[in-house]
Amino acid sequence: MSRSRLIWVDPGRSRLTLSSPEGWRGPDLGGGSHRATWWPALRGGMVVRWVRGKDEDAVLRALNAIPEGALRPTGKELEVPTGGLLLSGCEESLKIQIEPGAYFVDAGTLSPDEGTELRILRLRPQRKTALVR
């Protein structure tokens, strides 16, 4: 058995949540026994729930080849506080390093093959429009 390259949070029978170390509570990410991890991007990143997949390599291949349009805007926004976020489930938490600020929330299910299914929640930074003079 190969060593995992990602750090996974196992929600057990509890709900998966995003929160801050200072006590801020973000959106409830649902229940179920699907493990979750944080997949960082240059700006923002994604909470990834591993619903099914042969192995972690299949998950990594899928994350490295997300097709355009696979993740759709939810119409929701999230304000990330200073100090990052915690991805928590059951008794485990994963510290997420992410810039504080406003993010759009996109979501989708990725099924690149019959054996792999990922549920993804992407935090995409809101871009401020520059004033043109």
Q: What is the pLDDT of residues 31-68, one digit of tens each?
A: 667 888 889 888 889 989 888 888 888 888 899 999 99
What is the spatial distance between Cα 20 and Cα 25, in angstroms, rounded to a whole number?
A: 7
pLDDT exceeds cutoff 50 at 131: no
What is the spatial distance between Cα 26 and Cα 51, in angstroms, rounded to a whole number?
A: 22
What is the spatial distance between Cα 16 and Cα 1, in angstroms, rounded to a whole number?
A: 27
Q: What percent of the chain has pLDDT over 90?
A: 14
Asked if 48 and 39 count as a contact pair (C-beta separation under 8 A), the reply is: yes
Which of 87 and 20 is assigned the larger pLDDT?
87
Residues in the chain: 133
Residue 43's pLDDT is 83
pLDDT exceeds cutoff 60 at 130: no
Residue 5, Cβ density class (10 Å: 0-12 exposed, 13-18 middle, ≥19 buried) = exposed
